[in-house]
Structure 1
Amino acid sequence: MSTITAAEPAEDAANGVSLYRAIWRWHFFAGLLVIPFLLNLAVTGSLYLFKDEINSTFFGYRYSVQPAGEALSPERIAEIAASAAPGSTATSYKDPVLPERSAIVTLSSDAGSMLVFVNPYDGKVLDVVGSTDEFNYVVKRIHSLAYFGTITNRLIEIAGGFAMVLVVTGIYLWWPRRQTGGVVSVRGTPGRRVFWRDLHAVTGAFAGILIFFLAMSGMPWSGYWGANANAWLAEHGLGYPVQLWDDVPKSRKVTEDILPNSGWIVEKAPVPLSDIAAAQSGKPIGLDKAAEIAKRLGMAPGFDVAIPSDETGVYTASLFPDDLTDERTLHIDQYSGKPLIDIGFDQYPFLGKAIEWGINVHQGQEWGRFNQLLMFATCLAIVLSCVTAVIMWWKRRPIGRLGVPPMPPKPSIYYGLWVIVGIFAVAFPMSGLAIVAMIAFDQIVVRFVPLLKRVLA
């Protein structure tokens, strides 16, 4: 016969308080560290969602044309573009996605890479801009912080992992515990802290899944996790179908080395080599023929064609469109015109398709305007969550102190949480290690340094 003592409910209550405080403290520290990064991601991400509208509105002079008769050939357009920058060489050609769009030629020279926008009907050069100066490229690089170097790019990867932690811990903190407000309603007025607490909690609760999705689907672009995930998928037959390259000579270049845009799954896939023996007896088929072959094989409008830079190179046509079923990469022998590799979305393994789908939704492309507005609303929710978090903290902080949530009454509660952090660190090493360092600092340094303990209280 067992006996329930009064100490057992008290111990359960103490464990509950300790767990709540530990998670609240984690949530606070994670938010404190990543709010600036999340604001950057939300603002630049919003801009990138509307890149087509921005191009048409602010840069229409380089993107929009009036159809007039038959379009010039790709080779002629590439020649016109090269003449706009003497000493340069055309490295890729972008087929107009619509009759009302310009053709874009990428040039390479000692001064760097540049984009030349050409009216495909009359051959007029509409604009010349450095590849790294183009507005959407700059926005994308600031979005990932790669614009400022490798270290900052790693920080944004850590922030992405922290965003997932914030969602999970935030849902735990929001979870109803007999309170009458702050679950689906907002109490008080803007002058009271409870108003901002409830607005923060309700916004996070309703947008949490979408914020988690944005953080997760953004990971493939990260410098460390993304590169290693791509390599692991390819090594285990879960990325691009490596068997397609079994009987094809391969170069040391990968798809992203020769094209400005390609699908994530194939960007690290090796570029095949043209038949070098044919170089002794034949002539290259030329850009016109390569573009014609791509179209004949069903490549949808708007594809890019990489132009061979040497006698072993290939013409590579690639399309990363709004409609994933049209995503495709085609490598063509520059002498025979033979398709060496032809891979489309329907040939990707399940995980490859899932990642590409996630990327497409992340960029607001999968379901048209609805997808675009849904991701924009999620970005607004991130901004609102960040702003309400800062205001809520500012209203509750004690004078002269940071106002960190108190440590849990029972430090042993961290043991189980350490296991969870360890699992997370394996899945997302950069973010996981940062969390380990954060908790170690909190538990080892702060606990035993009186000044820090006072400030971080």
Structure 2
Amino acid sequence: MRDPIPSPVSGAYRAVWRWHFYAGLLVMPVLMLMALTGAIYLFRAEIEDAVYRPLAEVRPAATTTSPDRWAAAARVAGGGEVASVLMPDRPDRAVRFTVRRPDESQVFVFVDPSDAQTTGVAPAGGVTETVKRIHSLEIVGRWGNLLVEVVAGWAMILVATGVFLWWPRRRVAGVVTVRARAGRPFWRDLHAVTGLYAGAVIFFLAFTGMPWSGVWGDAILGQMRASGIGRPATPPAASPWEHAQHKADEPGGVGWTMEGATMATPAHHAAPSLERVVDTANRSALARPWLISVPASPDLAWAVARQPTRVEDTRTLYVDGVTGDVRADIRYRQFGWGAKAFEWGIATHQGTQYGAINRWVMLSGCVAVWLLAISGLVMWWRRRPSGGLGAPAAPPGPRVRAAVLGIVIPFSIIYPLTGLSLLAAILIDRTAAAIRRRFAISERTAP
């Protein structure tokens, strides 16, 4: 997207430019959607507080009633069974229950802990859950999750090819500064300089989003569990980890590493009690807020997970709901190095690990995606030929192929779905080129 440059690198430059063009054409619309929803989700805490404040605000009280009374009130108001309980870290906020109804829908029920009175009922998830589902493309089902992996892989290829195109060649203007003039050079420089300053953030966001992907993320998670660099071993006195056979995301709030990890408890004749679980968490000095996941089966432990902003503060208790005994006390330092790295990446991706500066840096990456997309679109519009797509020509030669393959092949190996999409793109490109050659020959030989 820079002025033509002299050989011997002009062929390689044009070839990389061609793939940069096609990568942007294919994934930029989805990437823009993900950047927009990701930017909104960075302010999840503020959005949820504003939305639920009328329902959740209560008068602070010195004493509280029994948590079992809270649960009973939530079941009645929600018309179902309690799935989880969010204990707030502020005395002027109600306890939030997630209640699962017989039709599998869920609602939030807010209960004043001082008198066990219901203060409000709302659909579970709300705005931020919708934003999250759009961001992860869950709204289109399983295929959406696979598409996320493809888009994230191509986003990293876009950054890598963009660095190749940006690399300074005997000038500074348009490389680290935007030239102060209008027209296509201005948009070209804006595109290049935005990519320079935000490329690393965009690459980081794409890479740290991969743990949520359906193929690569699940494969890496399984490998980490098997190799001992992920989920910690269970305490000697506890039963081994069991993968949840009900909801895949239960217990909730425990993070990527412990997702789906359940623990059996000894058989009891008595019923479990939320009050015993809350008392145990308080005695264990578990800092609030924490999320209590009510197990789907009575022979499983209740998970009480702190909801931290920094991964170093991660802590989850597995509590026997009948006796209140702690079956396991899992902390961040017990994770394998692989799990620590990915949990850190996820927290930084979500803008919580390093406070406000972390969030604003991630927001800058989301804004940069839109700037890059708009400037790229304007450049294409200004140079497009009439009746054509305007893709850069593909020059032949081994040097050209080496330049392109040297950038895209590593990503294709690491991320299989990206590799498959690359093969599909090459097949389409060559088929289109063969069709164009055939038409050209037909036109020349026509009488």
> TM (normalized to structure 2)?
0.90
- Structure 2 counterpart of 1:151: 143
User: 2: CA distance between counterparts of 1:59 and 1:384?
Assistant: 33
How far residue 397 of structure 1 moved from its aligned partner, in angstroms, is: 0.8
Give the Cα separation in 2 of the matches to 1:342 and 1:452.
69
Pick closer, same or farther for the CA change 1:439–1:335 going to 2, 3 Å.
same
Question: Which whole-Å CA distance do the structure 2 matches of 1:183 and 1:146 have between them?
Answer: 38
* CA–CA distance in structure 1, aligned partners of residues 41 and 15 of structure 2: 37
State whether structure 2 residue 199 is matched by structure 1 residue 212.
Answer: no
Is 1:429 matched with 2:411? Answer: no
5+ residue gaps, structure 2, are: 441-447
Task: Report the Cα distance in structure 2 between the residues aligned to 1:216 and 1:287, rounded to whole angstroms.
Answer: 39
**Maintained 8 Å contact 1:290/1:332:** yes
1:410 offset after TM fit, Å?
2.1
Tell me how far apart the structure 2 counterparts of residues 452 and 57 of structure 1 sit (CA, whole Å): 62
Which residue number corresponds to residue 219 of structure 2?
Answer: 228
For residues 136 and 187 of structure 2, the distance between their equivalents in structure 1, rounded to whole angstroms, comes to 29
- Does 2:443 align with 1:450? no
| 2:55 paired residue number | 62
Q: 1:237 aligns with which of 217, 228, 244?
A: 228
Question: Which consecutive residues of structure 1, in runs of 5 or more, have no partner in the other structure?
Answer: 1-11
In the aligned structure 2, how far is the partner of 1:179 from the partner of 1:316? 59
Q: Secondary structure at the match of 1:84?
A: helix
Pair 1:314–1:197, CA change in 2 (3 A): same
Q: What is the aligned counterpart of 1:43 among 23, 36, 39?
A: 36
Moved over 6 A (4+): 451-454
Number of residue equivalences: 434
Determine the C-alpha separation between the residues in 1 that align with 2:236 and 2:256. 17
Out of 223, 246, 264, the residue aligned to residue 273 of structure 1 is 264
Q: Counterpart of 1:142? A: 134
Q: Does 1:196 align with 2:187?
A: yes
> Are the aligned partners of 1:51 and 1:136 in contact in 2 as well (CA < 8 Å)?
yes
Q: Distance in 1 between matches of 2:236 and 2:360?
A: 40
> Is 2:354 aligned against 1:367?
yes
Pick closer, same or farther for the CA change 1:411–1:446 going to 2, 3 Å.
farther
Partner in structure 2 of residue 3 of structure 1: none
CA distance in 2, matches of 1:409, 1:451: 15
Following the alignment from structure 1 to structure 2, what is the Cα–Cα distance between the partners of residues 52 and 227? 28
Q: Structure 1, residues 169-214: CA drift from partner, whole Å, max 9, x if none?
A: 1011011111342111112544x11111110110001111111111
Q: 1:413 aligns with which of 391, 396, 400?
A: 400
Q: Is the 8 A contact 2:14 2:395 kept in 1?
A: yes
Q: Which residue of 2 aligns with 1:115?
A: 108
Counterpart position of 2:161? 169
Against the structure 1 CA distance between its residues 452 and 342, is the aligned structure 2 distance closer, same or farther, given a 3 Å change threshold?
Answer: farther
* Residues 184 and 422 (structure 1), Cα distance of their counterparts in 2 relative to 1, 3 Å cut: closer
Aligned AA for 1:198? D
RMSD of the TM alignment (CA)? 2.4
Supply the distance in 2 between the matched residues of 1:183 and 1:419 (Cα, whole angstroms).
Answer: 23
Judge conservation of contact 1:14–1:409 (CA < 8 Å) in 2: no
- How far 1:383 moved relative to its partner? 1.2
Please list the CA deviations of residues 122-178 of structure 1 after superposition, one character each: whole Å capped at 9, or x if unmatched: 4343332333x5211111110011122111221122111111111111011011111
TM-score (norm 1): 0.88
SS at match of 2:72: helix
Identity %: 37
Matches within 5 A, 1:264-343: 264-269=256-261, 271-276=262-267, 279-280=268-269, 283-343=270-330
Answer whether contact 1:66 1:100 (CA < 8 A) is retained: yes
Closer, same or farther: CA 355–245 of 1 in aligned 2, 3 Å: farther
Task: Check 1:78–1:427 CA distance in 2 against 1; reply closer, same or farther (3 A cut).
Answer: same
Q: Quote the Cα distance in structure 1 between the aligned partners of 2:346 and 2:197.
A: 22
Q: Deviations over 1:395-453 (max 9, x none)?
A: 111111111011024266325644654432221111122122212322x3122111899
